[in-house]
Amino acid sequence: MWSFEGDYRRKPQQRLGGASRSRNIERIDLLNQLKNDREERERQRRREAAAVTLQAWTRGVLSQRDTRCHLRRQCDALLSSIKTMGISEATVTKLIALLIRIFSPKEDSERLLAVCQLIIREQQLLSGWICGSLLRWTHLLPRLANMALKLVTHPKPASGGKTTVPHASALRLLEIIMAPNSWTTKLSQEQQQFFLTSLYFHLIKNGYYHQIVDLIVTRVPEVYESSEMPPTPLADSLFHLLMKPLAFASTLSDKTLLCRAVEEVCQQVLGQAVHSQICHYVLPCLAATTEYQLPLDKVVAVLGVRSSPLLQTCPAPALLYSLLTLVHSTAEFSNAQSLCNYLQAIGELVGGVTAFLTSNDVEDDSDDDDDDMMDSIKPLDPVLCKLAEECVNVVNSTEHVGWLLSHVERQVSPEVLLHFSRLTHHLLTSPSVQLHQCRLLYSVVARRQLLRSMWVVLSSLQQGAPLPSTNTTNSAAFGVRGPPLLQVLARGSPLAPSERDTLVPLLSTFCATLTAVLSTLHDSEILGPKDDTEQQHFQMTFQSHFPFSVEELVKMSASLRDVCVGLVELAHPDMRISAVTDISYKTMWAHCFKVCVGVVRQIHLRDTRRMFCPEGHWLSSCVSLPLGNCQTTSFVPRTNRRQRQLFTPQRWLTRDELETEGPPLSLHEMRRATILQEIPFVIPFETRTQVFSTLVVTNRSASQMRADFNEGPMINVAIRRTHLYEDAFDKLSPNNEPNLRLRMRVHLMNAAGLNEAGIDGGGIFREFLSELLKTAFDPTRGFFLLTRENTLYPNPGAHLIAEDYQTHYFFIGRMLGKALYENLLVDIPLAGFFLSKLLGRSSSSVEFHHLDSMDPELCRSLLELKTYQDDVLDLGLDFTVLNSDLGQNTVEELIPNGSNIAVTNENRIEYIYRMADYKLNKQIAKQSQAFKNGVRDVVPLEWLQMFDWKELQMLVSGASIPIDLTDLMENTRYGGEYNAEHHTIVAFWKVLRLFGETQKRQLLKFVTSCSRPPLLGFKELHPPFCIQPSGSEDRLPTASTCMNLLKLPEYKNEHTLRDKLLYAITSGAGFELS
């Protein structure tokens, strides 16, 4: 019992001891307990709600089961009544309505089959019923047909583990319902159309085509060869059922049903070509049947939708194979829009097929970022991969290409060209089709008007303007709301997706085609004959071979040059990879950049040979190299840096990468490096020479920084002056001196075998290297031959001179690389084609156009053969070539069994190019590659590839420009008593001003051993040009070429100075080692 003491309110207890840890623990426990209670109440509430829902569902299921059982009993009763009392419309309609409510393939198959047999037996009565109650039967019969189709596609298990397929009655019912002419004679045409339209809409909506295709795949045996003959009677019935909706929809004026049916056919039939029944039976029947004409224009319209949902649900190889099977090489397009639809469909599908193709390209430019994605790539279906390769081969076949181009030529329009270029672009970017294998591209080469039309459309595309259509008749139709897209691209500005998808494929296709055209034509066929002699060897007009005039080619090259510069801006986006969500178009941009750069290089190479462009044409005002403000070596990627892929945002580097590679290049440095690697000629030659000089000086300083006279790594060699080449070849071999970049000290020995006086402070080495290269390149030694223009190239018969001839060429290449590395000019004129082979990027092969610099007569003979009007067979040529080396005559076959293959009008082009390839490449391939490897051993080829072959010759031998006496005076040093005011020096410069250019070059060669001035002026001459006194005026002037030193006696008379100097420089005497 509790006692009441008058306190009716609870009073809080006061704790004077302060808060304690135990009190805090009790509070936390209390809060946790309250939380747990709330969660438990919530769980209980959910359990009660779930129980109520489950109870309701259970009651519903039980109720439905009871209702179905009741309805099934009614169905059975109706079927029994029909047997006893006969059939009536009310009984049949009620029976079908009950089946619609309760139908299950597992439980009601017998009931449905009974109804099917009933209607089949009483189909004449059905006609009257439908005529009297059209709306009712329009509702019932489509659903009955759908149930019959479901029954066939869901067989029920029988005893013995097998399945019975009660498809006969169900399929017969479908045939009767879908062929109304046999039972709807009392219906009008409008009633028949209404009934069948409702029927087919309902069936298609409920998966009609999917079920029919499933029946074909599962009930028809495998078909191994394409045939229009049905393998079984069931296959024939199913094919007719497949085509009936399309056949009926084609007769309607309203094409809604037809479009819906075509969409389903594309997805459920054409997209299932991986199955042999579809691939080898249904598709050939669709292509050959005359009873059911598949509307190809609708098919290509559905398949040609950009980013079509079909490509997400159906494999592209299956769709493309189906389309190629349906469209014959004899098909005709009624208008340009149909052709555009076909081109767009083929292009979109080829683009989707590329994901199933394996690459034939041996070049691997992937980086670690791509390797990280390999684990997420799913293995591809081998059947689809095989189908994809077959499709690409068909698209690229001679028959398909010829048929397609004939239509494109007849219905050429801007829109047709755009879709055609997309198709070609997809083929060019396909990993299984190489550039030289793209027949569609090379077939355009012979069609000049197509190439010209491409450029017209390409130049007319404008930003913000509507895309061109088949109604476009002039450039005004492209709109004038913005600048041309080529100019936008040249500025490096991003394009909108629609503009990108229009411009890039067309630009890529045009550049690739123009490159192919240029590679098949000689300079004279594009630019006209360069002299009267060449004109006499041709019998036709040169300009007829090329679709553009020289003036148009110049303007085009300027536009494409700017586009390449703009693409470099886009190739290095100013953002990190985390800020980019879509880089799926990297392949498109990368291919566009590759072919644009390729065609610009081609035209620039032509210009280096024929100089048809104005001076300064190739320079770009948008590119500058601030040499004084930044590190020049950053313009060329370092060897320890990973090669960053173009058109890929930069990712953040890890700490290990930063320690290994150093800080990353800035955005501007990467762009400049790309320009120097890809299109260096847009930068002035003087600037590139400074870049090269800075690269060499920086590398040389790092290699020779500790190579003083008595310490650090250094090359010391003793060379006999009488055996200069032999001693150098032995002592400077890679085995003895693997690093030729080190400082070299040379000790020369005279004929007696004694060391010559003097210590090599650089002058003796320069003299040695200069004389060594003159000896190595001397044609009398046999390793090099002279062209008719007195330029040098490797001797094809070098193997007869020395067994280890490749080692000799490697050594000579190293020595030339050492001269470039030490900034030593040597007067060695190399053939243009040989320099081009040295600068080759992917290979050392050069094309037919270079043959003129090797053998002009052979080049003219081959060009005359190309335009020979009579029968070439009468000339008695075959695919062999006669070589005569050192008195030995040998016959080489240009192709296997070439001695038995005559040159005819059909194969003469192959003969011409194989002959040129043999002379320019195969004959001297080993010599050229060994020489190239030798140069690369000292100077990276990437540094030399900043120059063309003419500029490389200037790097080797100096500039072929007039000697600037003012520059020479400002950079001349004087020794002894001489100075700029000395009367002998004053007289010397006065006499020199009166010399002709030839005499000035003779003087320069007399002092420096090279007749050409340095590329960047005499300030770059090392050692500097120097003049010092040398005895009385009775003596002749002498020179020490190793020191660039002129020893000039103190002549009192200007006339005497002139005579003595001329005598010395023209007699070839005067060398003396100081």
Active site residues: 1042
Structure tokens at 140: 């019932």
* C-alpha to C-alpha distances, 407 to 140, 298, 348, 503, 508, nearest whole angstrom: 49, 19, 19, 22, 22
Classify residue 493 by its DSSP letter: P
Structure tokens at 411: 């219905």
Neighbours of 664 (CB within 10 A): 17
Asked if residues 427 and 395 have their Cβ atoms less than 8 Å apart, the reply is yes
Query: Nearest Cα to 450, choosing from 439, 459, 437, 441?
Result: 441
Structure tokens at 956: 């080797």
Structure tokens at 750: 């005279």
The per-residue b/e assignment along 762-790, b for 16 or more CB within 10 angstroms, e otherwise, is bbbbbbbbbbbbeebbeeeebbbbebeee
Asked if residues 669 and 635 have their Cβ atoms less than 8 Å apart, the reply is yes
Helices 189-205 and 256-268, axial angle in degrees (round to 10) = 30
| Mode of pairing for the β-strands spanning 156-157 and 163-164 | antiparallel
**Encoded amino acid at 638, one letter:** R
| Burial of residue 667 (number of CB atoms within 10 Å: 0-12, 13-18, 19+) | middle
Query: Nearest Cα to 933, choosing from 827, 819, 808, 847?
Result: 808
Query: Bridge-partner residues for 689, per DSSP?
Result: none
Maximal CA-CA distance, the chain: 151
First to last CA, the chain: 135
What is the full DSSP assignment across 352-391? HHGGGPPP--------HHHHTTGGGPPPPPHHHHHHHHHH
Asked if residues 951 and 1002 have their Cβ atoms less than 8 Å apart, the reply is no
The Cα–Cα gap between 424 and 441 comes to 7
The Cα–Cα gap between 884 and 878 comes to 18
Collapsed DSSP state (helix, strand, coil) of residue 935: helix
Q: What are phi and psi of 164, to 5 degrees?
A: -95, 145
The Cα–Cα gap between 562 and 490 comes to 5
Structure tokens at 952: 């490389």
